[in-house]
Chains A and B, each alone.
Chain A
Amino acid sequence: MDAILALSEGFTALLAPQYILACLLGAFLGTLGGVLPGLGPTGTMAILLPFVLTLDTLSALIILAGIAYGANFGNSTAAILLNIPGDPSAVPTALDGHPLALQGRGGPALAVAALASFATTLLGTLTLAFIAPVVASFALRVGAPEYFGLLLLALTIVSSFSQGSAVKGFLMMAFGVALTLPGLDPVTGSERLTFGVGPLIAGFSLIPVAMGLFAFGEVFHNALRRSRPDTIPQVGKLLPSLKELKPLPPVVARSGLLGFIVGVLPGTGPAPAAFAAYGMESRVNKDRDQFGSGSFSGLAAPESASNAAAAGAFVPTLTLGIPGSAPLAVLLGALMVLGARPGPLFLDEQPDLYWAFMASLIVASILLLILNLPMIRLWVKLLSVPYPLLAAVILVLTVAGVYSFELRMSDVWIALILGIVSVALRRGGFPLAPIILGFVLGEELERNLRLTLEVSGGSLMIFVERVPSLIILLGVVLVVTYPAMKFVYRRVRGAPRVPEANA
């Protein structure tokens, strides 16, 4: 009852025009970033960070969260019409969405994607609003050893389950953590690992790192790999028939629940949720024979799951300060720059901010349905914007944005170098998500390790003497050894060995 009252107060706080505008802007920009293939939520957030960081905390939070939600709505458009998933979570959407578009059912496919996304975003957000305070109350009992373990768990999950080889994931996580090391030691304040390069004394900031990896990197990489669709299938009539809609509610419910649970796990996010839901429905759905050739159930499942996961990912982000996905790592980093610190104390210390934010997510869900259903033809038109213009705008915005943050040319050079590194990593099949998570969490990881050892007088036994810490560390061991266990299991079963991938 208290929570409902607090949420209603959140809606009241949200009535200020700047917050409504922030909701609209976040939803619009997120959808735009999702619709335009190759940008995605992380890239969109990175490009907009310099603007967002000039705002107050709530407005910044609303815009960034709107982008995270909106990109999940928008990425289905290019996936369905062009078979070009703008984001990993839209890959399973394309499997059934694109065949529907080729059959002249592009409009109903886009409508089903938008409706499924809306239903699970709204339900996921309501669940998040009421579950987060419960999780936070447990998290309040977490000490430095447990927090260190949780950070390590999040980093190992995102590394182990990122696309491609787990070893590459761990290497990229270490790379992200390594980027936090040059500069001043967080405890003693002494200079370290600057290699005699003056600008490194200030360390790496979030903006050049995020914009270099995700904005410069994306454009450079697209210059190598982009392809242009020869035609865009017609959208046609929008609304699906009742017969087509009838089997969908159970699919949306099942996939939404699964997606939310996957999303709550730190370091996962929408993509694994979408794949998991598609995989589940391809086994249990009574229309599974139609999957892959244009099934509305096959389309609704990943869309429901990815959007529920986008909401679920906020649970660890807000209650533990551990981002649930790469875009939320950027969001968390931005909040740290603004002076807010999501974590166990976030709800206690800033309840007004929390509930107004929850209210804004609900408003954003409704705005996203409006933007993605009646206005879908506008987004389809955007698919024909010439890429050279888009690339030039992104590059100029990135240079101006990085420079404007601290007015340092060295930051622009750092971003450019990281953009080149990003292209090399993409070409080599190294995942980028662990880098940004490692970068955002690296300093906290070191700080909590040193704090723990200070408390224990330098003894590492503290990590195993405390039961919650021991359980978390066992989880870390499980996640780290999972790829090896899978390999051994396959060998024992005598199944044909599947080679490790490199994505």
Chain B
Amino acid sequence: MAPDDAPRGTSRADKIPTTNDELILAAAFGLIGLLFVLQSWALGWTTDRGLLGPGAFPVAVGALFTLLSPVVFYQAFKNRSRSGFPVNHPSHQEIGDSQTHRTEPPPNIQSNPGTAATTRTGSGSQMVLCIALTGVFVGLLPTLGFTTIAILFTVAIQCLLGWRNWKGVLASILAAAGIAYVFIEVLAVPLPRGVLF
């Protein structure tokens, strides 16, 4: 069953506007494809017995990248020039597992009479800081040890994402300590202990 038979507004036939991310990603995938082709070419197409060698399949995959990337780039460029509003426009609802759908009903169906009010709490800077904090967490893990860095990290994430009170700090300390206890004591996983323990 193709999604095209789905209610209008939920199928991929609906245009969802684009961002620069698409253009950058399309170009990046094109370059990765070229790199794959160049690297795999040297591995050999055939083996000594005349069979398919280790380079043949990667060349095919790299070629697929290289062929598809310009198409995605062109589509993104065309869509951007046609309509400029960003992909996180309120008419689109992001949902789990990274699928994006429009949630308007089919043409013969009335619109929702209303919806529960929501307050937008996320932001681009929060995302960048969240990634950076996770990078610091992973980077310091071998040095500070899992328990210490996990507690510091959860408190930092709480504060970053907006739960800045003693309850949030206490909950994050308990959660991190609980996870460390389960992994180290219950599951006997030798997580890095660091210089403090």
Give residues in A with beta carbon < 8 Å to B: 37-43, 51, 54, 75, 81-88, 90-92, 94-95, 98-99, 101-102, 161-168, 170-171, 174-175, 177-178, 181, 185, 187-188, 190, 192-193, 195, 214, 216-233, 258, 261-262, 265, 268, 271-273, 275-276, 278-280, 282-283, 288, 291-294, 298, 326, 386-389, 391-393, 395-397, 399-400, 403-404, 407, 409, 412-413, 416, 419-420, 422-433, 446, 449-450, 453-454, 457-458, 482, 486, 498-503
Contacts and interface: CB of A to CB of B under 8 A. Distances in A.
Interface in B78-123: 79, 82, 87-88, 92-101, 103, 105-106, 108-123
A258 B5 CA distance: 13
Contacts of B94: 38, 221, 225, 426
A392 B175 contact: yes
For the complex of A and B, the 5 pairs showing the least CB-CB separation, nearest first, are A275-B6, A40-B96, A292-B109, A388-B161, A503-B100
Contacts of B121: 226-228, 387
Contacts of A101: 116
Interface of B: 1-7, 10-19, 21-22, 24-25, 29, 32, 36, 39-40, 43, 46-47, 50-55, 57-58, 61-62, 64-65, 68-69, 71-72, 75-76, 79, 82, 87-88, 92-101, 103, 105-106, 108-124, 126-127, 129-131, 134-135, 137-138, 141-142, 146, 150, 153-154, 157-158, 160-163, 168, 171-172, 175-176, 179-180, 183, 187, 189-192
A326 B97 contact: yes
A279 B162 contact: no
B189 A395 contact: no
Nearest to B13: A498
Nearest to A483: B12
A223 B108 CA distance: 36
A292 B69 contact: no
Given A178-B36, A282-B106, A412-B138, A275 B53 contact: no
21 contacts: A84-B118, A86-B96, A165-B12, A193-B40, A222-B122, A223-B130, A225-B94, A227-B119, A232-B116, A272-B6, A292-B111, A391-B161, A407-B190, A419-B131, A422-B98, A424-B21, A428-B25, A431-B98, A454-B52, A498-B13, A502-B16
B119 A228 contact: yes
Contacts of B168: 386, 388-389
Given A164-B100, A388-B162, A502-B18, A396 B7 contact: no
Nearest to A226: B122
A500 B71 CA distance: 12
B12 A500 contact: yes
B7 A282 contact: yes
Contacts of B142: 409
Contacts, number: 402
B39 A271 contact: no
A427 B20 CA distance: 9
Q: Which residue of B4, B94, B142 has the most chain A CB atoms within 10 A of its CB atom?
A: B94
Given A84-B93, A228-B119, A499-B15, 7 more contacts: A95-B103, A217-B98, A219-B130, A221-B127, A386-B168, A400-B191, A502-B18
A387 B168 CA distance: 11
Contacts of A387: 121, 161
Nearest to B4: A486
A98 B109 contact: no
Nearest to A415: B138
A154 to B, nearest CB: 15
Nearest to A457: B50
A167 to B, nearest CB: 5
Contacts of B6: 92, 272, 275-276, 278-279
A224 B15 contact: no
Given A163-B99, A400-B146, A95 B105 contact: yes
A488 to B, nearest CB: 14
Nearest to B88: A225
A308 to B, nearest CB: 12
Q: Which residue of B53, B76, B97, B130 has the most chain A CB atoms within 10 A of its CB atom?
A: B97
A76 B16 CA distance: 25
